[in-house]
Amino acid sequence: MALCYSALQKSLRVCDLKATNYWSHQIGDLYPNALRKRLCQNSLEDACGLKFSLDLLKKTKKTKPTFEELKPYVYSLTNAPKTHISAWLNRVAADHLYNNLPTSPSGSEIERAAHSLNLHSEGKDKELTFLWGDDIMRLYKYTNCDPLVFMSSILISEKRPELKSIQNLQFGTLQEPEKCEVLDYYNDKHTKIGKKMGRGYDHFLSNIVLSNPVYRSNAEPYRTKAEELYREFRIDGKGELRVKHVLEVIRNRKVMGSESTTTTTTTSKNVSKNVSEVKLDVNVFKVNDSTVGLGFKNATFVCDVVVGGNEKGEGVKRKFIKIGETGEDLKFAVQSSMFREELGVKSLKSEVVRVKVSREIDYGGIASKGKGGEKWRLGVERKVDKAKDENGVVEALVVDVFEEAIRMSDLRKEDEMWWSEELGEELLKVLMFRKWVGSKDTNAFNLMVRELTEGSKKKLEVLSVDEGKAGGERLKDGLGKGLETAQKIKGELLEKCADALVEKSDEIGLFLKKMNDLWKSKFSSTTLGSNSRMEETHRRMLREWGDGKNAKSVCRKWLGVEVGKKRKIEEKGEKKIKRTKT
């Protein structure tokens, strides 16, 4: 069977439909589930085919697929553009971990890859589920916990538009198979004959021939570094090392104490097996006279936070903290931040940190310093108690601070920002984003705005905050209610959005397309889109927008603003500004 697997993969790489037809029959006639698993694995390794694999797993019978169901997918994968980039990234990410370089769930491509690979290595499925969502984790488990699932997801983003074409499935039919000969290079290091022949990575790498390639072989990202590592990297004189061997060495090194553990990032309430690894809240949150209490529903405040904790030492940075949200809302907030960042809408680094609650931080007292005074104390104390698991550990959302900003609800005509030409467009994009991801409570109180000076120019930024996941009933109720889903936003602000929507319809159309493309390629299978929760909303938004010719109609439906009439004259000091006719 190993020979059949090898022959199928080599045939898929060179887009040989006759050969893939034959070898898929050899596997699929008797073992269709084994063939389905191989197609998923091969697509991830040689086509960065995340969408292909998710589609294959979702649209064929869960436990007993038939070979007839799989034939169109054999045809599709054979003809798909090919790239080995996910495997190259996987190997380079392992080396990144081996060298103790920084990792991050929202950093650079290699930092994100190394972060996921580290969680994979340590078996932290709950953290991985938080990061990637249920659908991707289902595929991960189905492919025998293959981290290429995460590598493919990381790579398929706006930063690599060349990989988008791979995700478009084109199906066809297979004819009756014709017998194919066993080519010599099929017997690589993964087959019995290949092992007897002493074939190793040199043979394997030399025979990665890709027809219909996405990249020229000498331009394929991460390839040069990965091939060097496969051929030359050794530990204690041991022979060729796969990624799993490198990860095993890293784990052993941690057990021997050569690496210290710090605050653990996770998302699962009531799961804190390694409590000794979790720091006390007082050692992470530096509460002092400068701490600002913000809320009464949850423990929300701004304070100095210890960051780092590695061999290079610890630093302190001002952060926004929220304790009391559900695990699902925490996932939603972090993944919304990731989506915003890739979309190009203002975003701040967000993460979930587990800390053990001590008696040294008075969360109720912090709340009492806010607008509500002592009235806020009791509610916050209850929230923190409810958030604790059996070991006294809570999950806290930690976000960079949006400095020098005000709430959109506090923006007045007396403010310079009110007159910014960018205000309508930036606000509109944020409102569209919140509608697209299904964030509850969209109102001016949950939006922040600031204006920065860059050289001689001023730049206005609008930030979406306090993002919680709207449930099915709320989404259904809000389908026809436009972009607001809670308290009303000032009509004059919505008029600015309407002006931007009509006057810059091309830019808004591109923004909507970008959201749709990013969603399909990366975020639909995460918590944001779990169980197809946003499909109806997206269909409606895209239908209402059309190709942009419906801009005036959309103003009424999305913003509740009539267009086509002259607007009143607004005054800024002695200067009179007439809003553009729409």
Return the closest-CA partner of residue 25 out of 178, 188, 169: 178
Shared domain check, 471 and 331? no
Judge whether 352 lies within some domain.
yes
Judge whether 520 lies within some domain.
yes
Cα–Cα distances (Å) from 257 to 252, 253, 261, 542, 552, in that order, read 9, 7, 9, 54, 64
Shared domain check, 558 and 434? yes
Indicate the SS3 state at residue 153.
helix
Shared domain check, 392 and 454? no
Q: What is the pLDDT of residues 300-351, one digit of tens each?
A: 999 999 876 443 445 788 999 999 988 889 989 999 999 998 898 999 988 8
Residue 188 structure tokens = 């690589």
At residue 390, the pLDDT reads 85
Cα–Cα distances (Å) from 358 to 169, 262, 367, 450, 458, in that order, read 53, 17, 17, 36, 44
End of a domain among 400, 419, 444? 400
Residue ranges of E strands in 228-328: 285-286, 292-293, 299-310, 313-323
Indicate the SS3 state at residue 34.
helix
Shared domain check, 245 and 97? yes
Residues linked to residue 351 through DSSP beta bridges, in sequence order: 398
Check residue 122 and give left, alpha or beta (phi > 0: left; psi -120 to 50: alpha).
alpha
Residue ranges of E strands in 439-535: 447-454, 457-464
Judge whether 76 lies within some domain.
no
Cα–Cα distances (Å) from 339 to 247, 336, 350, 467, in that order, read 29, 5, 12, 12
Residues of the chain with pLDDT under 50: 257-276, 309-313, 564-566, 569, 574-576, 578-582
End of a domain among 400, 415, 443? 400
- Going 129 to 135 to 141 to 144, the CA torsion angle's sign is negative
Residue ranges in 29-66 assigned as alpha helix (H): 32-47, 50-59
Shared domain check, 231 and 91? yes
Q: Is the CB of residue 130 less than 8 Å from the CB of residue 352?
A: yes
Q: How many Cβ atoms sit within 10 Å of the Cβ of residue 164?
A: 15
Residue 333 structure tokens = 């907030």
249-264: burial string, b at 16+ Cβ within 10 Å, e else? bbeeeeeeeeeeeebb
Q: What is the pLDDT of residues 96-144, one digit of tens each?
A: 998 888 888 888 899 999 999 999 999 999 899 988 999 999 999 999 9
At residue 63, the pLDDT reads 78
End of a domain among 400, 434, 466? 400
Indicate the SS3 state at residue 302.
strand
- Going 328 to 331 to 333 to 338, the CA torsion angle's sign is negative
Q: Is the CB of residue 304 less than 8 Å from the CB of residue 316?
A: yes
Q: Using CA atoms, how far apart are residues 154 and 158, in angstroms rounded to an integer?
A: 10
Q: Using CA atoms, how far apart are residues 568 and 581, in angstroms rounded to an integer?
A: 10
212-221: burial string, b at 16+ Cβ within 10 Å, e else? ebbbeeeebb
Judge whether 66 lies within some domain.
no
Cα–Cα distances (Å) from 447 to 306, 320, 334, 431, 496, in that order, read 27, 15, 17, 9, 16
Q: Using CA atoms, how far apart are residues 121 and 242, in angstroms rounded to an integer?
A: 13
- Going 305 to 307 to 311 to 312, the CA torsion angle's sign is negative
Shared domain check, 525 and 430? yes
Shared domain check, 558 and 432? yes
At residue 217, the pLDDT reads 66
- Residue 531 CB partners (closer than 8 Å, separation 6+): none
Q: How many domains does the chain have?
A: 3
Q: Is the CB of residue 320 less than 8 Å from the CB of residue 302?
A: yes
Return the closest-CA partner of residue 322 out of 310, 330, 314: 330
> For the purposes of burial, counting CB atoms within 10 Å of the CB of 54, is it exposed (0-12), middle (13-18) or buried (19 or more)?
buried
Q: Is the CB of residue 256 less than 8 Å from the CB of residue 250?
A: no
Q: Using CA atoms, how far apart are residues 253 and 517, in angstroms rounded to an integer?
A: 42
Shared domain check, 496 and 413? yes
- 529: DSSP letter: G
Return the closest-CA partner of residue 343 out of 178, 187, 165, 464: 464
Judge whether 489 lies within some domain.
yes
Shared domain check, 366 and 326? yes
Judge whether 138 lies within some domain.
yes
Shared domain check, 423 and 368? no
- Residue 237 CB partners (closer than 8 Å, separation 6+): none
One-letter-per-residue 3-state SS of 336-359: HHHHHHHHCCCCCCEEEEEEECCC
Shared domain check, 476 and 352? no
Domain holding 548, by residue range, is 406-578
Q: Is the CB of residue 402 less than 8 Å from the CB of residue 348?
A: yes
Judge whether 30 lies within some domain.
no
Residue 207 structure tokens = 């025979």
Shared domain check, 410 and 396? no
